[in-house]
Amino acid sequence: MHVMLCCNAGMSTSLLVQKMQNEVAARGEDTVIEARPMNEAMDHINEADIILLGPQIGYAKADFEKAVDGRCPVVVIPMVDYGRMNAPKILDDIKATLA
């Protein structure tokens, strides 16, 4: 599975990606997780199985959904999970969305 996290500049999201990668490793799962700034993400949109948007760019969800044209889900990370860097919960939400 390939997960792309998008945000404005990639700073806080890169911290979340590290936590998610550690959680994936602990679970023994084969998942690629990457962070991209929003202006770069559209160039790589077809590489992802799911796109997660940081809450600060939730306003762009419709643009991402139009770009993926139904090929993969686009989900805004809940503010509380993002703020707490709750990697286990976010990964569980990804699995539920893709199930």
Element housing 95 (H / E): helix 87-98
Residue 50 in tokens: 């799911």
* Token reading at 38: 């929003």
Task: Name the catalytic one among 5, 7, 20, 74.
Answer: 7
Instruction: Answer yes or no: 7 catalytic.
Output: yes
What single DSSP character describes residue 85? T
- Which amino acids are annotated catalytic? 7
